[in-house]
Amino acid sequence: MTRKTYISCDDIKLSEYIDDIDDPLQYACWLDPVTEEGFNYKSDLSFESFQKEVTHSRFHASILRTSDDAVIGYVFMSPEEKIPDLAIMIYKPYRHQGYGKQAVKLALQYGFDTLGLDIIHAGCYEHHTISEHLLTTLGFHLNEKGCIEETHYLTGEKIIQLDYVIHK
């Protein structure tokens, strides 16, 4: 099946999300403990219920590796009526290979150039040093006013979701 490509670089492309192909991959990722920890969220949905969930966003796309069109992740930007907040998932076999950084770069370019945004937020939890490093390396700055205290989904302890921001 041919997908619409929104934006690409040499190694990856952000392409049309196709429910029948991408839902099983994204659902499996949500069940991964590393993803749960990264999003401070544990899904209790069945796959059938997950498929019925409607994604409200200004932009969401599958991340494909250009060499073989393998679906390696998912990128999402919050709905238009909310602050533009970028989130990304890299599926387990493709983590720690630089794809996340490339995907965030492409999503930023698409957000600024195509969607016409002037500012984009991205969050991570204070103990996620890899995510924090990725964001700061790409030019995001900590927005202390946007940081929020949450309850950890397993331990019940208070944790801080850091808010990072980047301007066009």
pLDDT in tens, 19-53: 999 999 999 988 999 888 888 888 888 999 888 88
Amino acid sitting at position 153: Y
For position 53, what pLDDT does the model report? 83
Residue 71 bridge partners (DSSP): 64
Measured CA to CA, the distance from residue 74 to residue 90 in angstroms comes to 7
pLDDT digits (tens, 9 = 90+) for 129-154: 999 999 999 999 999 999 999 999 88
The reported pTM is: 0.92
Alpha carbon distances (Å) from 13 to 10, 65, 99, 110: 8, 7, 10, 11
